[in-house]
Protein backbone atom coordinates (compact mmCIF):
# COMPACT_ATOMS: atom_id res chain seq x y z
CA UNK A 1 0.00 0.00 0.00
CA UNK A 2 1.19 3.54 -0.75
CA UNK A 3 2.02 4.99 2.66
CA UNK A 4 0.86 8.52 1.85
CA UNK A 5 -2.63 7.31 0.97
CA UNK A 6 -2.89 4.65 3.68
CA UNK A 7 -4.30 5.15 7.12
CA UNK A 8 -2.00 3.58 9.74
CA UNK A 9 -4.74 1.23 10.95
CA UNK A 10 -5.43 -0.15 7.46
CA UNK A 11 -1.75 -0.35 6.55
CA UNK A 12 -1.26 -2.44 9.68
CA UNK A 13 -3.99 -4.89 8.61
CA UNK A 14 -2.20 -5.57 5.32
CA UNK A 15 1.33 -5.55 6.67
CA UNK A 16 3.59 -8.59 6.30
CA UNK A 17 3.83 -8.70 10.09
CA UNK A 18 0.06 -9.07 10.50
CA UNK A 19 -0.18 -11.62 7.70
CA UNK A 20 2.45 -13.95 9.16
CA UNK A 21 1.19 -13.40 12.68
CA UNK A 22 -2.16 -14.74 11.52
CA UNK A 23 -0.47 -17.67 9.78
CA UNK A 24 1.14 -18.57 13.10
CA UNK A 25 -2.17 -18.12 14.97
CA UNK A 26 -3.81 -20.59 12.57
CA UNK A 27 -0.99 -23.13 12.78
CA UNK A 28 -1.05 -23.01 16.58
CA UNK A 29 -4.85 -23.23 16.71
CA UNK A 30 -4.63 -26.40 14.60
CA UNK A 31 -2.03 -27.80 17.00
CA UNK A 32 -4.33 -27.00 19.93
CA UNK A 33 -7.13 -28.88 18.17
CA UNK A 34 -4.91 -31.92 17.63
CA UNK A 35 -3.85 -31.72 21.28
CA UNK A 36 -7.51 -31.80 22.35
CA UNK A 37 -7.91 -34.97 20.27
CA UNK A 38 -4.95 -36.56 22.03
CA UNK A 39 -2.50 -36.52 19.12
CA UNK A 40 -0.04 -33.90 20.39
CA UNK A 41 1.44 -34.56 23.86
CA UNK A 42 1.17 -31.97 26.62
CA UNK A 43 4.91 -31.24 26.70
CA UNK A 44 4.98 -30.63 22.95
CA UNK A 45 1.96 -28.30 22.87
CA UNK A 46 3.41 -26.22 25.70
CA UNK A 47 6.59 -25.70 23.70
CA UNK A 48 4.64 -24.94 20.53
CA UNK A 49 2.62 -22.25 22.29
CA UNK A 50 5.75 -20.14 22.78
CA UNK A 51 6.96 -20.49 19.18
CA UNK A 52 7.50 -17.57 16.81
CA UNK A 53 8.77 -17.06 13.29
CA UNK A 54 12.06 -15.49 12.34
CA UNK A 55 11.92 -13.03 9.45
CA UNK A 56 15.59 -13.47 8.56
CA UNK A 57 15.28 -17.25 8.27
CA UNK A 58 12.04 -16.88 6.32
CA UNK A 59 13.57 -14.55 3.72
CA UNK A 60 16.72 -16.65 3.43
CA UNK A 61 14.76 -19.88 2.97
CA UNK A 62 12.30 -18.33 0.52
CA UNK A 63 15.13 -17.54 -1.89
CA UNK A 64 15.89 -21.26 -2.02
CA UNK A 65 12.47 -22.91 -1.82
CA UNK A 66 10.46 -20.31 -3.76
CA UNK A 67 7.58 -21.49 -1.56
CA UNK A 68 6.21 -19.11 1.05
CA UNK A 69 4.68 -21.74 3.31
CA UNK A 70 7.69 -24.03 3.53
CA UNK A 71 9.90 -21.01 4.20
CA UNK A 72 7.50 -19.86 6.90
CA UNK A 73 7.46 -23.25 8.60
CA UNK A 74 11.25 -23.45 8.47
CA UNK A 75 11.47 -20.04 10.16
CA UNK A 76 9.45 -21.45 13.08
CA UNK A 77 10.83 -24.97 13.40
CA UNK A 78 14.44 -23.77 13.40
CA UNK A 79 13.94 -22.78 17.05
CA UNK A 80 12.02 -25.93 17.97
CA UNK A 81 12.95 -29.52 18.66
CA UNK A 82 11.00 -32.63 17.69
CA UNK A 83 7.75 -30.89 18.61
CA UNK A 84 8.09 -28.84 15.42
CA UNK A 85 6.91 -31.86 13.43
CA UNK A 86 3.34 -31.21 14.56
CA UNK A 87 3.10 -27.89 12.73
CA UNK A 88 1.00 -28.03 9.55
CA UNK A 89 -0.34 -31.45 10.58
CA UNK A 90 -2.98 -32.51 8.04
CA UNK A 91 -3.03 -29.13 6.30
CA UNK A 92 -2.56 -27.80 2.82
CA UNK A 93 -1.11 -24.35 2.17
CA UNK A 94 -4.50 -22.87 1.26
CA UNK A 95 -5.93 -23.87 4.63
CA UNK A 96 -3.60 -21.37 6.24
CA UNK A 97 -3.37 -18.81 3.44
CA UNK A 98 -7.07 -18.51 2.65
CA UNK A 99 -8.13 -18.55 6.30
CA UNK A 100 -5.58 -15.83 7.02
CA UNK A 101 -6.88 -13.75 4.11
CA UNK A 102 -10.39 -14.10 5.49
CA UNK A 103 -9.17 -12.82 8.86
CA UNK A 104 -7.48 -9.84 7.21
CA UNK A 105 -10.54 -9.01 5.09
CA UNK A 106 -12.76 -9.29 8.17
CA UNK A 107 -10.42 -6.98 10.06
CA UNK A 108 -10.30 -4.48 7.18
CA UNK A 109 -14.06 -4.63 6.71
CA UNK A 110 -14.74 -3.95 10.38
CA UNK A 111 -12.39 -0.97 10.27
CA UNK A 112 -14.19 0.42 7.21
CA UNK A 113 -17.55 -0.20 8.88
CA UNK A 114 -16.52 1.89 11.88
CA UNK A 115 -15.35 4.70 9.60
CA UNK A 116 -18.60 4.58 7.62
CA UNK A 117 -20.51 4.83 10.90
CA UNK A 118 -18.60 8.02 11.68
CA UNK A 119 -19.34 9.41 8.21
CA UNK A 120 -23.00 8.46 8.54
CA UNK A 121 -23.22 10.37 11.82
CA UNK A 122 -21.55 13.46 10.35
CA UNK A 123 -23.84 13.47 7.31
CA UNK A 124 -26.92 13.04 9.50
CA UNK A 125 -25.94 15.92 11.79
CA UNK A 126 -25.09 18.21 8.89
CA UNK A 127 -28.30 17.31 7.05
CA UNK A 128 -30.32 18.35 10.10
CA UNK A 129 -28.22 21.47 10.61
CA UNK A 130 -28.76 22.60 7.01
CA UNK A 131 -32.36 21.48 6.55
CA UNK A 132 -33.33 25.10 5.91
CA UNK A 133 -30.16 26.23 4.11
CA UNK A 134 -31.41 27.22 0.67
CA UNK A 135 -29.45 26.48 -2.48
CA UNK A 136 -30.18 26.04 -6.15
CA UNK A 137 -31.20 22.62 -7.36
CA UNK A 138 -29.70 21.71 -10.73
CA UNK A 139 -30.40 19.25 -13.50
CA UNK A 140 -27.49 18.59 -15.87
CA UNK A 141 -25.69 21.44 -14.10
CA UNK A 142 -28.41 23.96 -15.01
CA UNK A 143 -30.56 25.82 -12.45
CA UNK A 144 -33.91 24.11 -11.93
CA UNK A 145 -35.77 24.62 -8.62
CA UNK A 146 -34.66 25.66 -5.11
CA UNK A 147 -33.70 22.90 -2.68
CA UNK A 148 -31.90 22.86 0.66
CA UNK A 149 -28.35 21.79 1.28
CA UNK A 150 -29.79 19.53 3.96
CA UNK A 151 -31.67 17.55 1.29
CA UNK A 152 -28.46 16.91 -0.61
CA UNK A 153 -26.73 15.78 2.57
CA UNK A 154 -29.70 13.58 3.51
CA UNK A 155 -29.41 11.77 0.17
CA UNK A 156 -25.75 11.03 0.89
CA UNK A 157 -26.58 9.97 4.44
CA UNK A 158 -29.15 7.46 3.20
CA UNK A 159 -26.75 6.09 0.59
CA UNK A 160 -24.02 5.53 3.18
CA UNK A 161 -26.54 3.71 5.39
CA UNK A 162 -27.24 1.33 2.50
CA UNK A 163 -23.51 0.88 2.01
CA UNK A 164 -23.15 -0.13 5.66
CA UNK A 165 -25.84 -2.79 5.26
CA UNK A 166 -24.04 -4.22 2.22
CA UNK A 167 -20.68 -4.12 3.97
CA UNK A 168 -22.01 -5.87 7.06
CA UNK A 169 -23.31 -8.68 4.86
CA UNK A 170 -20.04 -8.85 2.91
CA UNK A 171 -18.05 -9.12 6.15
CA UNK A 172 -20.24 -12.02 7.25
CA UNK A 173 -19.81 -13.76 3.90
CA UNK A 174 -16.01 -13.45 3.96
CA UNK A 175 -15.60 -14.39 7.64
CA UNK A 176 -15.07 -18.09 6.98
CA UNK A 177 -12.10 -20.40 7.29
CA UNK A 178 -11.20 -23.83 6.05
CA UNK A 179 -9.07 -26.54 7.60
CA UNK A 180 -9.92 -29.38 5.25
CA UNK A 181 -6.60 -30.62 3.85
CA UNK A 182 -5.63 -31.15 0.20
CA UNK A 183 -8.69 -30.90 -2.13
CA UNK A 184 -10.99 -30.28 0.84
CA UNK A 185 -12.03 -33.85 1.64
CA UNK A 186 -11.09 -33.67 5.36
CA UNK A 187 -9.16 -36.94 4.87
CA UNK A 188 -6.19 -35.53 6.79
CA UNK A 189 -7.99 -32.95 8.94
CA UNK A 190 -11.40 -34.02 10.30
CA UNK A 191 -14.27 -31.49 10.42
CA UNK A 192 -14.00 -31.17 14.21
CA UNK A 193 -10.46 -29.80 13.78
CA UNK A 194 -11.83 -27.17 11.41
CA UNK A 195 -14.68 -26.30 13.78
CA UNK A 196 -12.31 -25.88 16.73
CA UNK A 197 -9.90 -23.67 14.78
CA UNK A 198 -12.57 -21.43 13.28
CA UNK A 199 -14.25 -20.97 16.65
CA UNK A 200 -10.89 -20.00 18.16
CA UNK A 201 -10.40 -17.45 15.36
CA UNK A 202 -13.96 -16.08 15.71
CA UNK A 203 -15.00 -17.02 12.18
CA UNK A 204 -17.27 -19.71 10.73
CA UNK A 205 -16.09 -22.86 8.95
CA UNK A 206 -16.89 -22.91 5.24
CA UNK A 207 -19.84 -25.32 4.83
CA UNK A 208 -18.14 -26.90 1.80
CA UNK A 209 -14.71 -26.27 0.33
CA UNK A 210 -12.22 -27.85 -2.00
CA UNK A 211 -8.59 -26.73 -1.90
CA UNK A 212 -9.64 -23.10 -1.49
CA UNK A 213 -12.32 -20.90 0.00
CA UNK A 214 -14.64 -20.16 -2.90
CA UNK A 215 -13.88 -16.90 -4.65
CA UNK A 216 -17.45 -15.64 -4.97
CA UNK A 217 -17.06 -14.66 -1.31
CA UNK A 218 -14.09 -12.45 -2.16
CA UNK A 219 -15.90 -11.10 -5.23
CA UNK A 220 -18.89 -10.02 -3.12
CA UNK A 221 -16.57 -8.28 -0.66
CA UNK A 222 -14.67 -6.44 -3.40
CA UNK A 223 -17.78 -5.40 -5.33
CA UNK A 224 -19.29 -4.10 -2.10
CA UNK A 225 -16.19 -1.96 -1.58
CA UNK A 226 -16.51 -0.76 -5.18
CA UNK A 227 -20.10 0.37 -4.56
CA UNK A 228 -19.09 2.20 -1.39
CA UNK A 229 -16.14 3.78 -3.18
CA UNK A 230 -18.51 4.96 -5.93
CA UNK A 231 -20.71 6.62 -3.30
CA UNK A 232 -17.71 8.36 -1.76
CA UNK A 233 -16.49 9.44 -5.20
CA UNK A 234 -19.92 10.91 -5.96
CA UNK A 235 -19.89 12.90 -2.73
CA UNK A 236 -16.33 14.10 -3.29
CA UNK A 237 -17.00 15.13 -6.89
CA UNK A 238 -20.12 17.07 -5.92
CA UNK A 239 -18.27 18.90 -3.15
CA UNK A 240 -15.48 19.75 -5.60
CA UNK A 241 -18.00 21.11 -8.10
CA UNK A 242 -19.86 23.18 -5.51
CA UNK A 243 -16.64 24.85 -4.33
CA UNK A 244 -15.65 26.05 -7.81
CA UNK A 245 -14.92 29.78 -7.96
CA UNK A 246 -17.98 30.37 -10.16
CA UNK A 247 -20.29 28.61 -7.67
CA UNK A 248 -18.60 28.74 -4.24
CA UNK A 249 -21.57 27.26 -2.37
CA UNK A 250 -19.27 25.19 -0.18
CA UNK A 251 -15.64 25.52 0.84
CA UNK A 252 -12.99 22.96 1.67
CA UNK A 253 -11.25 23.58 5.02
CA UNK A 254 -7.85 25.18 4.53
CA UNK A 255 -5.38 25.31 7.40
CA UNK A 256 -2.79 28.00 8.06
CA UNK A 257 0.34 27.38 6.03
CA UNK A 258 -1.33 24.84 3.75
CA UNK A 259 -0.50 25.16 0.05
CA UNK A 260 -1.95 23.70 -3.12
Q: pLDDT category, 150, cuts 50, 70, 90?
A: very high
Nearest to 28 by CA among 3, 6, 53: 53
Contact 39, 72 (CB under 8 A): no
The tens digit of pLDDT for each residue in 167-224 reads 999 999 999 999 999 999 999 999 999 999 999 999 999 999 899 999 999 999 999 9
Predicted pLDDT of residue 178: 98
% pLDDT > 90, the chain: 93
Residue among 163, 155, 153 nearest 112 (CA): 163
- The pLDDT score that the predictor gives to residue 1 is 72
Query: What domains, with CATH codes, occur in the chain?
Result: 92-242 (1.20.200.10)
Residue 2: pLDDT above 90? no
Comparing 18-22, 217-221, 243-247, the range with the smallest average pLDDT is: 243-247
HEC sequence for the chain: CCHHHCCHHHHHHCCHHHHHHHHHHHHHHHHHHHHHCCCCCHHHHHHHHCCCCCHHHHHHHHHHHCCHHHHHHHHHHCCCCHHHHHCCCCCCHHHHHHHHHHHHHHHHHHHHHHHHHHHHHHHHHHHHHCCCCEEEEEECCEEEEEEEHHHHHHHHHHHHHHHHHHHHHHHHHHCEECCCCHHHCCCCCCHHHHHHHHHHCCCEECCCCCCCCCCHHHHHHHHHHHHHHHHHHHHHHHHHHHCCCCCCCCCCCCCCCCCC
Amino acid sequence: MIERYSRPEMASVWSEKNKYSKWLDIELAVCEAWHKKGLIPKDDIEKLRSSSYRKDIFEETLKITKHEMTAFLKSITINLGDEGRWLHQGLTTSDVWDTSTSLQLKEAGELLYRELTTLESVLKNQAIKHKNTLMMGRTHGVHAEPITFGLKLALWWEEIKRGKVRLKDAIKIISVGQISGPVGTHATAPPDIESYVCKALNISPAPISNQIIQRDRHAQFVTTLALIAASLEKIATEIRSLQRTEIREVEEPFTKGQTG
